[in-house]
Amino acid sequence: MNNEKLKNLVHYICHKVKDPSKLGLTKLNKVLYYSDFLFYLQNYKPITEETYIKKDHGPVSKNLTRILKELQTEGKVFEREQAVIDFTRHELVSVKRPDISAFEPEEIALIDEIIEIISNNYTAQSIGDLTHDEVWEVAQNGEEIPYHAILGKESTPSQKAVKWAESVIEAKHYA
């Protein structure tokens, strides 16, 4: 895992969502998860290399709690509790501009798209339910969800996927 890149991504997501009521811990976990896994699906490498764990409410970042504490200690992000009908939402607010210099333009483009979709079109419950799919099913509760599980979501492999698979097979054959 690239700790600094993950920390910068968490900070960027908190900064990008201007209305804190649209970003709690659940949605933050899902933005991270979809950013890494969909980038992996397109490029055969994740953005942050973070480990995601299967939990009852969907995949969660293994290191998010620690990363948020670091961001809070550094004065970049703060968390506030907001009472909402029958639960408490943990809203995340960025107070400093994030450093995105380690990200490629195509990474930021995908992250921005995912932030927009999740923060504006889903509740924490509905996005959690959406992540209960074939990828989430490959692991037992509490286990790591492997990145390659996302490759099973493609109905027919792309030419890029076939070339990548052939290169892996060839490399292993000659190793």
Cα(134)–Cα(149) distance, integer angstroms: 8
- The total of other beta-carbon atoms located within 10 Å of residue 72's CB is 14
Task: Say what the pLDDT of residue 115 is.
Answer: 96
Residues 6+ apart with CB under 8 A from 62: 50, 51, 52, 53, 144
Task: Say what the pLDDT of residue 132 is.
Answer: 86
Task: Say what the pLDDT of residue 90 is.
Answer: 84
CB contact at 8 A, 47 and 19: no
In order of 17, 103, 124, the CA distances from 6 in angstroms are: 17, 11, 21
DSSP secondary structure string for all residues of the chain:
--HHHHHHHHHHHHHH--SGGG--HHHHHHHHHHHHHHHHHHHSS-SS---EEEETTEEEETTHHHHHHHHHHTTSEEEEEEEETTEEEEEEEE-S----TTS-HHHHHHHHHHHHHHHHH--HHHHHHHT-SHHHHTS-TTSBPPGGGGGGG-SS--HHHHHHHHHHHHHHHH-
Task: Say what the pLDDT of residue 55 is.
Answer: 95
Distance between alpha carbon 35 and the CA centroid of its chain, in Å?
5
Tens digit of each residue's pLDDT, the chain (175 residues): 789 999 999 999 999 999 988 999 999 999 999 999 999 999 999 999 999 999 998 999 999 999 999 999 999 999 988 888 888 888 899 999 999 999 999 999 999 999 999 999 998 889 988 888 888 888 889 999 999 999 876 555 567 666 776 777 777 655 5
Task: Say what the pLDDT of residue 49 is.
Answer: 95
Tokens matching residue 69: 């504490």
Task: Say what the pLDDT of residue 51 is.
Answer: 97
Task: Say what the pLDDT of residue 103 is.
Answer: 97
pTM metric for this prediction: 0.84
Task: Say what the pLDDT of residue 175 is.
Answer: 54
Task: Say what the pLDDT of residue 114 is.
Answer: 96
